[in-house]
Structure 1
Amino acid sequence: MLDLALLGFIALMLVLGLKRPFLWVLTYIYIDLVMPQKIGWGIITSPSLKLSLIAFVAAFAGWLLLDSKKGSRFTARQGMIVVLLLWCLMTTFGAQFQEEAWLKWDWVWKALVFAAFLPLTLRTRLRIEAAVLFIVLAVGTIAINGGLKTVGGGGGYGTLRLLVNENSGIYEGSIISTVAIAIIPLALWLARHGTIFKPDWRVWTFTAGLIFACLLIPVGTSARTGLVCAAVLGVIMMRSVRYRFVYAGAASLALLAAIPFLPASFTERMGTITEHEGDQSASTRVAVWKWTIDFAKEHPLGGGFDAYRSNSFTYQTRAVTGTGASQTVEYQTVTESGRAYHSSYFELLGEQGYFGLGLWLVLNLLGLWHMERLRWRFGKRSGRDGRKSWQWGLATALQQGHVVYLVGAAFVGIAYQPFLFMLIGLQCALWSYVKRTEAPQNRACSRPRGAGQALPQPAE
């Protein structure tokens, strides 16, 4: 029955796409994030039924053959994505572990190509909003499931089972914790400025429940990364709230009220954040990072995907037992090999070398800068309530979500995750949309008085 429901929804979207080809783009977003082919139990899980590839081809073919190209622009950041794609292809050909590298390339190239393609389809406000809505609801589907299980006592590090019975991809604890926190600003933007579901008490009730579920994901997974991301989001949101002291006070009270209800397993694991030497997982990360720096010195162009499989290192962990004057310190020597990077920045450094890491950093930092420029542009329009405009709100939400993701990326290897590149695609689309729709108005304002009427702003 579950398979029929999932296949029925996808089939409906594909049929409706014959009338509105853009729906195929939304279908691919849903499939790429939720991965329904892993949720079912029967025919939908068949390797011969390639749902992701079907939606991927439909999205491109629909735009190329059936959709209007009016307003589509190719930005510099899209060009950078293409360069990163080609660089990854080159390093894959020279990868140390060919079989594993090509397996990773099989999904990385689709994430990069779709990110470069997505802004071409997001020509109007409605399309941009629809893409944001599908991303939020897709991640929300996982977050709500995890939140309910956490409330029911089904959480724990490595034990929370979401929609699928595996701990990889977006369903891995640290990754879903990062992504769930990152969509909170986008969910708030939809609740304030949405036109598909116009803001009312029902929308705000659902949004509040979704945000609560997203905040429960770090608790349910006991992912320290999620706690750090939530704290960072709480701080950076102070830039955009009107009453900062009220916001800070309310957040502090909510945190204090929540502490007694947190499970002991969560608080114990969070206590290891500042003591990496006493936690083997954190100690392994530091050792891998040191190894990666040395590896990059010998392989400045990178070792290709999954180059970490060649690592081997020895380190010491420190454990303190007893209390007061009777405390004793015990050291243990640990030798490990083939451990993952546990950081997107070291993942890029080890796999794509200095050039790949630099390109990836510029691609991300440029997106934050573009969103900041849009915030300045609309924020200074006090006479027209620029800070209340949907463009200012979306630029702020995309920037906040991106910052949260980049913070989480410091502790988990998510450099190529589709969610990140969907965020980048949305940023490119918003940047291009504003430049296109604001240009006629700017030219009209620069004309001498009496030279003619101002040009109308293009429809959204």
Structure 2
Amino acid sequence: MLDLALFLSVIGMFLLGLRKPFIWVLAYLYIDILAPQKIGWSLAQLLPVSLVAFLLAFGGWAVAEKKDGFRFSFRQGILLALLIWCFITLQWADYPDSAAEKWAWVWKALIFAIFLPLTLTTRLRIESAMLIMVLTAGAIIISAGLKTVGGGGGYGNLYLFVNDNSNIYESSTLATVSIALIPIILWFTRHGTIFPPDWRVKGFAAALIFACLMIPIGTEARTGLLCIAVLGMMLLRDVKKRFVYIGAAAALGLVSLPFLPSSFTDRMATIKEAQSEQSASTRMQVWAWTLDYVERKPLGGGFDVYIGNSFSYQMPVKEVDGNTTRVRYREVTESSRAFHSSWFEMLGEQGWPGLFIWTLLHITGIVQMERIRRRYAGKTGKIEGWQGPLASALQFSNVIYLVGATFQGIAFQPVILMLVGLQIALAEHVKRRESAIDKAAFKAVKAANKRADARGSAPDPAIP
């Protein structure tokens, strides 16, 4: 039944797109996040649904969509530059076969991020895309959250819809994405129009946010805990009663401690013991290896260049005997260890140029969202009251991603690139709206001047 339901859902969206081609864009968002072709075992695998949705989304826009006011933004140019540079580094990749496998999905994620803002030309479309993203990711998050509450979590033991340690289904990636979506979920509880924010929407949003907070516990992803801390600090900017917020957050943390599994608290405790924890120590060695590598190859070594790393190091190990604690050192040898950091992933694979382009993409996004937030600060109502809060939510999501990306190799994570596309779409929507207002105001002033000139040139009836 599940396989049939997934297949019919996808086919239904394809058929609806014949009437409204924009639905094909939403279909691709749904398919790329959930990967129903991997969940199903027969019908869902009959068609290359991801490729079909990708082609339909582009074809529908090219044939049926109006191109009035078409413009290519600066940040879309940055995405294009990143795409071109990744293709260039592919030509000298140290490991061509592995590089080709990663390129097979990276180019599609980048192309769609460039394309997405061209389709999100209205508030309804922007909101629709966000809603599909939240609900699709929410299906995974809710399932994982329920398993966590039921005691089915644990590092490497939280089984999701797909037994595939890639894309959003990788545990640390899911933890980061879950926390990054919380600001957007909160936006829907105040400014949503597709589902007006009544008690049902707010109740569902509260439950979904709870499930999002469960993901770092269920996956025991240390990065998720850092993302929660960053989110808590950023929300201080927008709350009105900050001391009440801080007190409530502290109380919630204290109350939840007794209910946390010991495996979770033990794993989180290793955050402050990086030198004596093998996973963290290995990451730092990989980062050191990457810095040495780019000294020799500043333009990078192409996708999956980490396969070539190999190193040995001395790791301190504490031994407790009664009241005596001794530290001895044991040699650890590792090879072909992943970067576990998007910053070093970009540096090693794409060199200094790639790291610069990727950093510029996200820094300009944070700055762009801040400008919109300030421009619409204090404005209310259905017309001007939603842009500023949405810019703030997308900015928060971006910052949370960058924190999580510091400890994960998710530089090209498709869900995050979709969020980048949403940022660009919002910025372009604001520009078009303000341009239209400026044009209307200019026309009004011009018409008033003409009327004034006409009155000034006409003879005064009081003069004979």
TM-score range, shorter chain: over 0.9
User: How far apart are residue 225 of structure 1 and its match?
Assistant: 0.3
- Following the alignment from structure 2 to structure 1, what is the Cα–Cα distance between the partners of residues 151 and 171? 16
Q: Is 1:87–1:356's contact at 8 Å kept on the other side of the alignment?
A: yes
User: How far apart are residue 386 of structure 1 and its match?
Assistant: 10
Q: Is 1:378–1:387's contact at 8 Å kept on the other side of the alignment?
A: no
For residue 174 of structure 1, what is the aligned residue in structure 2? 172
Greater Cα offset, 31-40 or 323-332: 323-332
SS of residue in 1 equivalent to 2:178:
helix
Q: Of residues 425, 429, 450 in structure 1, which corresponds to 2:421?
A: 425
- Following the alignment from structure 1 to structure 2, what is the Cα–Cα distance between the partners of residues 232 and 243? 19
SS of residue in 2 equivalent to 1:335:
strand
For residue 437 of structure 1, what is the aligned residue in structure 2? 433
For residue 204 of structure 2, what is the aligned residue in structure 1? 206
Post-superposition CA distance 1:143-170 (Å, at most 9, x none): 1010000011110111111111222221
- Following the alignment from structure 2 to structure 1, what is the Cα–Cα distance between the partners of residues 8 and 415? 25
User: How far apart are residue 44 of structure 1 and its match?
Assistant: 2.0
- Following the alignment from structure 1 to structure 2, what is the Cα–Cα distance between the partners of residues 286 and 34? 33
For residue 52 of structure 1, what is the aligned residue in structure 2? 50
For residue 43 of structure 2, what is the aligned residue in structure 1? 43
Aligned residues: 449
For residue 343 of structure 2, what is the aligned residue in structure 1? 345
- Following the alignment from structure 1 to structure 2, what is the Cα–Cα distance between the partners of residues 414 and 118? 20
Q: Of residues 126, 143, 147 in structure 1, which corresponds to 2:124?
A: 126
CA 1:65–1:223: 2 relative to 1, 3 Å: same
- Following the alignment from structure 2 to structure 1, what is the Cα–Cα distance between the partners of residues 138 and 69? 31
Greater gyration radius: 2
Q: Is 1:72–1:121's contact at 8 Å kept on the other side of the alignment?
A: no
Q: Of residues 411, 414, 435 in structure 1, which corresponds to 2:410?
A: 414
Is residue 394 of structure 1 aligned with residue 380 of structure 2?
Answer: no
- Following the alignment from structure 2 to structure 1, what is the Cα–Cα distance between the partners of residues 320 and 383? 55
For residue 330 of structure 2, what is the aligned residue in structure 1? 332
- Following the alignment from structure 2 to structure 1, what is the Cα–Cα distance between the partners of residues 440 and 245? 40
Counterpart AA for 2:39: I
Is residue 375 of structure 1 aligned with residue 373 of structure 2?
Answer: yes
Q: Is 1:72–1:119's contact at 8 Å kept on the other side of the alignment?
A: no
- Structural RMSD (CA): 1.8
CA 1:74–1:274: 2 relative to 1, 3 Å: same
Runs of 4+ in 1 over 3 A off after TM superposition: 384-388, 442-453
Is residue 363 of structure 1 aligned with residue 361 of structure 2?
Answer: yes
Counterpart AA for 1:438: E
User: How far apart are residue 385 of structure 1 and its match?
Assistant: 7.0
Post-superposition CA distance 1:302-359 (Å, at most 9, x none): 1000000000011222222327741122322100110000000000000000000000
- Following the alignment from structure 1 to structure 2, what is the Cα–Cα distance between the partners of residues 217 and 288? 27
Q: Of residues 223, 226, 232 in structure 1, which corresponds to 2:224?
A: 226
Q: Percent of aligned positions with the same letter in both sequences? A: 55
- Following the alignment from structure 2 to structure 1, what is the Cα–Cα distance between the partners of residues 334 and 45? 35
Greater Cα offset, 408-417 or 137-146: 137-146
Post-superposition CA distance 1:232-284 (Å, at most 9, x none): 00101111112111111111111111111000000000000011112111111
SS of residue in 1 equivalent to 2:271:
coil
Counterpart AA for 2:332: V
Is residue 302 of structure 1 aligned with residue 277 of structure 2?
Answer: no
For residue 6 of structure 1, what is the aligned residue in structure 2? 6
Counterpart AA for 1:412: Q
User: How far apart are residue 440 of structure 1 and its match?
Assistant: 2.8
Counterpart AA for 2:129: A
User: How far apart are residue 71 of structure 1 and its match?
Assistant: 3.9
CA 1:65–1:447: 2 relative to 1, 3 Å: closer
User: How far apart are residue 418 of structure 1 and its match?
Assistant: 0.5
CA 1:452–1:128: 2 relative to 1, 3 Å: farther
- Following the alignment from structure 1 to structure 2, what is the Cα–Cα distance between the partners of residues 9 and 73? 33
For residue 19 of structure 1, what is the aligned residue in structure 2? 19
**Structure 1: gaps spanning 5 or more residues:** 454-460
User: How far apart are residue 439 of structure 1 and its match?
Assistant: 2.0
CA 1:263–1:134: 2 relative to 1, 3 Å: same
Q: Is 2:7–2:43's contact at 8 Å kept on the other side of the alignment?
A: no
- Following the alignment from structure 1 to structure 2, what is the Cα–Cα distance between the partners of residues 198 and 144? 22
Greater Cα offset, 319-328 or 198-207: 319-328
Q: Is 1:291–1:311's contact at 8 Å kept on the other side of the alignment?
A: yes
Counterpart AA for 2:157: T
**Structure 2: gaps spanning 5 or more residues:** 450-464
User: How far apart are residue 447 of structure 1 and its match?
Assistant: 8.0
- Following the alignment from structure 2 to structure 1, what is the Cα–Cα distance between the partners of residues 182 and 367? 20
